[in-house]
Amino acid sequence: MIWNEAKECMSRDELETLQSARLVKMVNRVYHNVEPYRKKMQALGLEPGDIRGLEDLYKLPFTTYEDLNANYPFGMAAVPPSELVRVHASSGTTGKPKIGVYTRHDIDIWAECVARCLSTAHITRDDVIQIGYGYGLFTGGLGAHYGAEYLGAMVIPMSTGNTKKLIDMMIDCGVTSIACTPSYLLHVAEDLEKLGLVDKIKLKSAICGAEPWTNEMRDQMEQRLHIKAYDIYGLTEICGPGVACDCDFHKGLHIWEDHFLPEVINPVTLEHLPAGSEGELVITNLTKEGMPLIRYRTKDLTHLEYGKCECGRTMARIQRFKGRSDDMLIIRGVNVFPSQVEAALLTVEGTTPHYMMVVDRIDNNDTLEVQVEVAENVFTDEIKSLEALSKAVHDRLKAAIGLNAKVKLVEPNGLEHFDGKSKHVIDKRKLYE
Ligand code: DLL
């Protein structure tokens, strides 16, 4: 089903004309309202008049997390605070969180983009949808919620953390669709099977995202739950979920190009790459008012395919992600940087900077073990004091990254020490195909 045919199926000529006009307007707006952009453009000798359309996009400077961090929280907002109605956030490296801010109009556009995604998954006002993404600072819960309500579906705002209740309500309320992370859906499938309740559910579709997943995971959920599963992509800084999603033909995720202008660059040389080349996805907000980003480096590695899809949509398709150009991990849907773990460990007396994060997926649940060497003077056979240290590390990690990690204290020199670039992550999951 196509939510907004006039936009989603525009001819490329028509779309590029719209993108050009929006880009010119956007560059003007940020130049005059956002000091960091003005300074960056001035440093390159650029004035708004130099950007006359899409063909001039590549003259513009990139925006990175470091820019957001340096101007945290609202230094890159393009409107006065009184016009902002919402803030969302997700983890940055050791710096400040990555935030997204929204005007009322931004919230409406976001709902429209999510509604397009849900429609692509054939969700209508007759559906009952459970939102199993976290509500709060994370964009998943409220983003999916507003989109589903806008579309007219009946929304059950489950959030995360209570699978039993989710299953009870799924059956009691005749839930027909669910939006949650793919690993969580597989976990729900397992519980449903254990309880012998798969036949009792009315689920038809799932809209999964916020973390990478594979075709094999899709096959599993489709077969075990007798549903159709769709992929949804987005990031806090650009708007949240709803930047792109895949359709029945699963030939990539349609990115709503009338709002988000995509390109792919070489993450090392930063040169713009021709369509179809593998590299880092860069997105320019074309309509965001609150904190529009110009040429934002997502760090997600992929390639784009253009050309009309069999579903009728003309918008470019983001192909399966190949990884990230930075070291961000997504564990149970939570973005985690090793540098955050390192910074947390440094604050616990008795530990050393030698640590290893071991990430795995057991029964469709991500697990994180943090192995850390304890200092020579602390290493003791006294179980009580080691237990206390282990708890201190656990609690500090929980506060820093929001996850319960299994902590393994290791004797001095028990972990490998590196001469060159040290390695701090062993990821045993097979996330990218
Ligand atoms: O994960 C927004 C979202 C919520 C998307 C719910 C989809 C569903 P952040 O927490 O800022 O935002 O994390 C953004 O997550 O740069 C990707 O690396 C990764 N990611 C998001 N969706 C997908 C996906 C939300 N479908 C970061 N496939 C992004 C692969 C994804 N990776």
Q: How do residues 339-375 score in pLDDT, each as one tens digit? A: 899 889 989 998 887 899 999 999 888 999 999 999 8
The CA 198 to ligand 1 mean position distance, Å, reads 28
> What pTM was computed for the model?
0.92
The CA 411 to ligand 1 mean position distance, Å, reads 37
| Protein residue closest via CA to atom 14 of ligand 1 | 235
| Protein residue closest via CA to atom 4 of ligand 1 | 140
Instruction: Kindly state whether residue 432 falls inside one of the protein's structural domains.
Output: no
Long-range contacts of 25-31 (CB under 8 A, 24+ apart): 26/284, 26/285, 26/286, 26/287, 26/292, 26/294, 27/51, 27/60, 27/294, 29/78, 29/292, 30/78, 30/292, 30/294
Atom of ligand 1 nearest to the CA of 234: 5
- The stretch 379-408 carries a mean pLDDT of 89
Q: Are 315 and 339 in a shared domain? A: no
Instruction: Rank 56-65, 91-100, 213-222, 318-327 by mean pLDDT and report only the highest.
Output: 56-65
Q: Are 131 and 92 in a shared domain? A: yes
pLDDT at residue 386, as a whole number? 86
Measured distance CA(149)–CA(387) in Å, rounded: 48
Q: Is the pLDDT at 432 greater than 90, yes or no?
A: no
Q: Are 207 and 341 in a shared domain? A: no
Out of 308, 326, 344, pick the residue that ends a domain.
326
Measured distance CA(249)–CA(431) in Å, rounded: 21
pLDDT at residue 320, as a whole number? 87
DSSP state for residue 245 in the 8-state scheme: E
Closest by alpha carbon to 225, among 213, 217, 233?
217
| Protein residue closest via CA to atom 13 of ligand 1 | 235
Contacts of 2 (CB under 8 A, 6+ apart): 8, 9, 119, 120, 311, 312, 313
| Protein residue closest via CA to atom 29 of ligand 1 | 235
Instruction: Kindly state whether residue 147 falls inside one of the protein's structural domains.
Output: yes
Tokens of 278: 């593998």
Atom of ligand 1 nearest to the CA of 208: 8
Out of 300, 326, 352, pick the residue that ends a domain.
326
Q: Is the pLDDT at 381 greater than 70, yes or no?
A: no
Query: Domain limits at 170?
Result: 5-326
Measured distance CA(222)–CA(323) in Å, rounded: 24
Q: Are 257 and 365 in a shared domain? A: no
Q: Are 113 and 15 in a shared domain? A: yes
Instruction: Kindly state whether residue 404 falls inside one of the protein's structural domains.
Output: yes
Q: How many domains does the chain have?
A: 2
> Tens digits of per-residue pLDDT, 264-303?
999 999 999 999 999 999 999 999 999 999 999 999 999 9
Q: Are 86 and 120 in a shared domain? A: yes
> Tens digits of per-residue pLDDT, 107-127?
999 999 999 999 999 999 999
Backbone angles phi, psi at 231, to 5 degrees: -100, 135
pLDDT at residue 364, as a whole number? 83
> For residue 291, how many other CB atoms are within 10 A of its CB?
27
Name the residue of 335, 431, 432 whose CB sits within 8 Å of the most ligand 1 atoms, as the mutation to test its pocket: 335
> For residue 344, how many other CB atoms are within 10 A of its CB?
22
pLDDT at residue 380, as a whole number? 67
Atom of ligand 1 nearest to the CA of 237: 11
Out of 292, 326, 360, pick the residue that ends a domain.
326
Q: Are 100 and 181 in a shared domain? A: yes
Q: Are 9 and 92 in a shared domain? A: yes
Name the 3-class secondary structure at 173: coil
Q: Are 350 and 304 in a shared domain? A: no
Q: What is the CATH classification number for the domain harbouring 293?
A: 3.40.50.12780
Measured distance CA(91)–CA(372) in Å, rounded: 22
Rounded-to-5 percentages of helix, strand, coil across the chain: 35, 25, 40
Instruction: Kindly state whether residue 247 falls inside one of the protein's structural domains.
Output: yes
Instruction: Kindly state whether residue 113 falls inside one of the protein's structural domains.
Output: yes
The CA 47 to ligand 1 mean position distance, Å, reads 33
pLDDT exceeding 90 applies to what percent of the chain? Answer: 84
Ligand 1 shell residues, CB under 6 Å: 90, 133, 139-140, 209-212, 231-236, 240-241, 298, 300, 321, 324, 330, 335
> Tens digits of per-residue pLDDT, 93-108?
778 999 999 999 999 9
Measured distance CA(433)–CA(427) in Å, rounded: 14
> Tens digits of per-residue pLDDT, 134-156?
999 999 999 999 999 999 999 99
Atom of ligand 1 nearest to the CA of 334: 10
Name the 3-class secondary structure at 365: strand
